[in-house]
Amino acid sequence: MKANWGQIVKKIEAATKDEVAILKSLLDTVNSKICPKCKECCCTDADVPSKGCSKSGGYYDSYYDSTPEELALIKYLKKKYEFTKKYGFLNPEKGCKLPRYLRSHTCLIYFCGKEKKLLRSTDVTMAIYLVNRIRAIKKQILTNV
Ligand code: SF4
Ligand code: SF4
């Protein structure tokens, strides 16, 4: 049977909503202060393999996220969120087009030096814990596709 990716995405959203809400409360204040004027966008120059969102398929092509189901999900997301050859999922004016729960593990786990300076180390630890939980929840849903 062909997977219904619209429904699977809704399932991921519902299953990760608590983790995403806490992540938002931890990171949004810091991000809203430092990101608008940032000249070193994390999405184009991240300290992760194969630089750039467009070249790496939103970093879903990295070793963290490359099961057949994850690759099928990214195919769906590329179409739905209008992935471009130049910017990938990045809207240069507004930031990432993907909601947090649909970003790759690589994207979620990346904290730039400026974020790390402003966040308390306990917040970074909590954020990493939440990101890993989101990944585990997503993986579980995707293994049952
Ligand atoms: S998270 Fe860091 S690198 Fe990314 S846009 Fe914000 S300040 Fe810049
Ligand atoms: S998917 Fe989003 S967060 Fe990840 S590299 Fe692309 S624009 Fe940045």
Model confidence over 25-73: pLDDT tens digits?
Answer: 999 999 999 988 887 767 765 444 445 788 888 888 666 667 888 888 9
Ligand nearest to the CA of 105: 2
At 86 the pLDDT is 83
What's the pLDDT tens digit per position in 101-121? 999 888 899 898 899 999 999
Domain coordinates in residue numbering, the chain: 5-143
Instruction: Decide if 26 contacts 120 (C-beta within 8 A).
Output: no
Q: Which own/partner pairs from 89-92 qualify as long-range (CB within 8 Å, at least 24 positions apart)?
A: 89/43, 89/53, 89/58, 90/41, 90/43, 90/44, 90/53
CA angle, 54 then 45 then 93, to 5°: 65
Distance (Å, whole) CA 96 – CA 90? 5
Ligand nearest to the CA of 84: 2
Cβ 38 under 6 angstroms from ligand 1: yes
Ligand nearest to the CA of 57: 2
Give the ligand 2 atom nearest the CA of 88.
Answer: 6
Cβ 42 under 6 angstroms from ligand 1: yes
Global pTM exceeds 0.85: yes
Q: Hey, is 49 helix, strand or coil?
A: coil
Give the ligand 1 atom nearest the CA of 95.
Answer: 5
In testing the pocket of ligand 2, which one of 70, 82, 103 has its CB within 8 Å of the most ligand atoms?
A: 103
Which DSSP helix (H) or strand (E) runs through 132?
A: helix 121-143
Cβ 118 under 6 angstroms from ligand 1: no
- Residues 6 or more apart whose Cβ sits within 8 Å of residue 111: 119, 124, 127
At 65 the pLDDT is 65
What percent of the chain lies above the pLDDT cut of 90?
52
